[in-house]
Amino acid sequence: MDGPPENREGSAESRGVIPRTVDLIFQEVEDLRAKGWQFDVSATLLEVYNEAVHDILAPRKEQRAACGTDSRQAVEQFVTRKVADAAAVHRLLAKAAQERHVAATACNDRSSRSHAVFQLSLNGHRWAEDRQETVSGLLSLVDLAGSERVEKSQATGERMKEARFINRSLSALGDVIEALSRRGSDGTGHVPYRNSRLTMLLKSSLSGDSKALMFVNVSPCLCHLNETLASLRFAAKVHDCNVGVARRYADNGKV
């Protein structure tokens, strides 16, 4: 996936968050195999472009896909690719970078015009005496397109349309974060996940049975002061949001 330098591929010293995360996961998988665990790992690559979800792993004519309201179930609707090791995932990420919509604006000569969602699904099991233990998890790595001031980016035509969809979906994400921060400790209260394809995809990642971590990238340049302030305010809003306590999806049922 394209994105800020700290998220991209690079040399061993400069590799970013996403490739390092992938490497760590497969290292953990190898360590657990030594303890008797077996894992199936599969990947999904999605792009949210102009409020449409594109399945990057699907044949090109079938890439535009529907999106259900439950992101755990949504993974099953999209093409998944079994991956045996980190190298296979890195190849898929390179494919995603090639497929992603980018364009030049007055602010950025390679501006992301979409949100990229990379998901890894892990299912593990092992035998312990007369019991089979199973665990499952879903990791979503998301590269959001940056909010855009049209008057500064000088976007027109198709670029302006893209900017409006980007800003609208980021606003919807902000509304979800705000609703989650207002929600009571009992988890009651409406959260507007359905206002955007992006938030529908991220529902399980933002609900009370998961963990979420967000990196916000800002510019030190004075000319970007307004965008930096907006990003920091959004980061503060996210920081104040408590999505609950993550639960482990496991089944230790006796066979």
Burial class of residue 150 (count of CB atoms within 10 Å of its CB; 0-12, 13-18, 19+): middle
Weakest-pLDDT range from 53-57, 115-119, 124-128, 144-148: 144-148
Which band of pLDDT confidence, cut at 50, 70 and 90, is reported for residue 130? confident
Which band of pLDDT confidence, cut at 50, 70 and 90, is reported for residue 253? very low
Q: Is the pLDDT of residue 108 over 50?
A: yes
For residue 1, what pLDDT is reported?
Answer: 41
Of residues 237 and 53, more confidence is placed in 53
Dist. CA 202–CA 225, nearest whole Å: 29
Query: 200-228, pLDDT tens digit by residue?
Result: 999 888 876 778 888 888 888 898 888 88
For residue 58, what pLDDT is reported?
Answer: 84
Dist. CA 140–CA 117, nearest whole Å: 7
How would CATH label the architecture of 5-245+247-251? 3-Layer(aba) Sandwich (3.40)
Calculate the average pLDDT of the chain.
79
What is the pLDDT averaged over residues 75-86?
Answer: 84
Q: Is the pLDDT of residue 22 over 90?
A: yes
Dist. CA 134–CA 160, nearest whole Å: 48
Which band of pLDDT confidence, cut at 50, 70 and 90, is reported for residue 3? very low
Q: Is the pLDDT of residue 60 over 80?
A: no
Q: Are strands 249-251 and 102-103 parallel, antiparallel or unpaired?
A: unpaired
For residue 5, what pLDDT is reported?
Answer: 41
For residue 69, what pLDDT is reported?
Answer: 44
Residue type at 177 in one-letter notation? I
Query: 94-103, pLDDT tens digit by residue?
Result: 888 887 766 5
Of residues 155 and 177, more confidence is placed in 177
Extents of the domains making up the chain: 5-245+247-251
DSSP secondary structure of 95-122: HHHHHS-EE--SS-TTEE-SEEEEEEEE
Weakest-pLDDT range from 61-70, 80-89, 129-138: 61-70
